[in-house]
Chains A and B, each alone.
Chain A
Amino acid sequence: MTQWDSSWPKFLSQDERDGLFACLGREFGIPATILSPYELLKTSRLYYLLRHHKKIDALRPLKIQNAGLPAIRIMKRHLKPTTEFIRSFGQFFTKRLIIVGSKALMTIATKKTIELSELTGLSDLSLLDKGRAIDIRSISSLETGFYLIKCREIFWGSVFIRDNILISYFSKNINKTVLSMDICNNRLIC
């Protein structure tokens, strides 16, 4: 069969897929079956999701710019789900999902680095762990890694937590959006 044009990211082999799914399952509690309809492609820093299609081989010789949706970034030893991935698949995360109130959301959008205790002082924070919501104050130390932030049923982005310090990875656009929102009246509008 024709080789893939060199412009294509590398398709993950079955072993590599299994490895990545195991990792996503361990860190975020995503069931592997959720991603089985997709091809996974990899560049040095990013995994892409491309819907599996029986005619994909017809595109092997095509010189492309990019393929599929940027899904997971490789950040040293950690995996960071992209905002687009979170929006589509956030509902399947059963771990590392933090549910925050509006004031905590505002604080995350304002500051790059925040002590976790500063947030718990503002509003209730619960952590979804193995599908159960736990009050964050009852946990002495959170596992190091990326966490999703959900507020009012919306997935906003991710943060990195180490030693109870939170580093925001919200995009500039999301920060701007959050800060321009009218949350005083309990409404989420820009």
Chain B
Amino acid sequence: MSDRLLDPFPDYDFIPDKDALLLHMLRPLPSYLRINPIYISEEDAVEAISAEGISLKRVAEVPLFYKADWDKGLGHTLSYKRGLFYPQALSSAIPCLALQPTAQCLILDMCAAPGGKTTYLAALTEDKGLIVANDRNIRRLTALNANIKRMGLTSIVVSSISGEAFPLYSRFDRVLVDAPCSGEGKYRIAPSGDVLSKSAGRANLPAIQKGLIVRSFDALAPNGVMVYSTCTINPLENEAVVAYLLKKRENAKIEQWSSPIASYQGLTAYRNHIFGEELRYAHRYYPHKIDSVGFFVAKISKSG
């Protein structure tokens, strides 16, 4: 791929095998789904889904995830309507796994709608934890509530508060900030050369993300764990945001964490921005390396 005109990321020299990424972007991403083990066992759910003609291949490294070979919409299947699965990008599992939630935890999912990660957190805690699923956008709560109901989950409380103003009277053991972002990790290139999945928003995303990460950190209990994630490749929405938190809160520390799928270190600098050495402990996921949506994941702890 030498036609640089097609390159939606001309400034990102840090992407490994960038030509391979551009080629990868020419085809649709494969479908993955996550089994919901609440109603019936994982094995029985797999059997019911397979009986509908959907061919499933288990992803051994990521609990409950399967690659699904199915050319019609997964949302039209009976198993979907029965709440037996959630169609979900493989990389979307990673922030939840990094958070390491347990049933004893009080968990805050600060930007939760439509609930892909909230419902995975509930599954990982066997629906026995206590999760606050928050999203500022009240219209997006409809989808969040529908997913919680469809999947039969009983451990979730829904709120709709602007994350930057989230009240600090309850301190959480785990906080997930899956921030609104430019979504570059989802970009695909159409045969016409147009970039698909490009969001049209003109908001100052890094400013919103910085407000969210600091408030989310403040909502964390001492010794608590927070994960900041986005589905973008842009360092100014990723490492720069985490570096901002580290500057603002000296009891914040990036934790090392071993990823179950192929990842690259976070950037310590980009153009004239210096983020700091500890940012290498953050994880970058590139679409062509994992055959799924690109992601950024940083695990952060709060000292007591």
Contacts and interface: CB of A to CB of B under 8 A. Distances in A.
Contacts of A154: 82
Contacts, number: 92
A177 B154 contact: no
A69 B148 contact: yes
Contacts of B139: none
Interface in A9-55: 38, 49-51, 53-55
A87 B39 contact: yes
Interface residues of A, number: 32
Given A49-B154, A50-B155, A61-B169, A70 B78 contact: no
A187 B132 CA distance: 40
A134 interface: no
Contacts of A50: 154-155, 157
A65 B104 CA distance: 23
Q: Is the interface of B mostly helix, strand, loop or mixed?
A: loop
A142 interface: no
Contact of B81 (A55, A88, A174): A174
B83 A87 contact: yes
A173 B81 CA distance: 8
- B interface, how many residues as a size bin? 35 or more
A62 B167 contact: yes
A118 B165 CA distance: 59
Interface in B150-165: 150, 152-161
Interface string B99-134: 000001010000000000000000000011110100
A88 B36 CA distance: 12
23 contacts: A38-B154, A51-B130, A53-B129, A53-B155, A55-B106, A58-B170, A59-B106, A62-B159, A62-B167, A62-B169, A63-B161, A65-B138, A66-B157, A66-B158, A69-B153, A70-B149, A84-B83, A84-B150, A84-B152, A88-B39, A88-B152, A190-B52, A190-B76
Given A65-B138, A189-B78, 8 more contacts: A51-B127, A53-B130, A59-B157, A62-B167, A62-B169, A88-B39, A173-B81, A190-B76
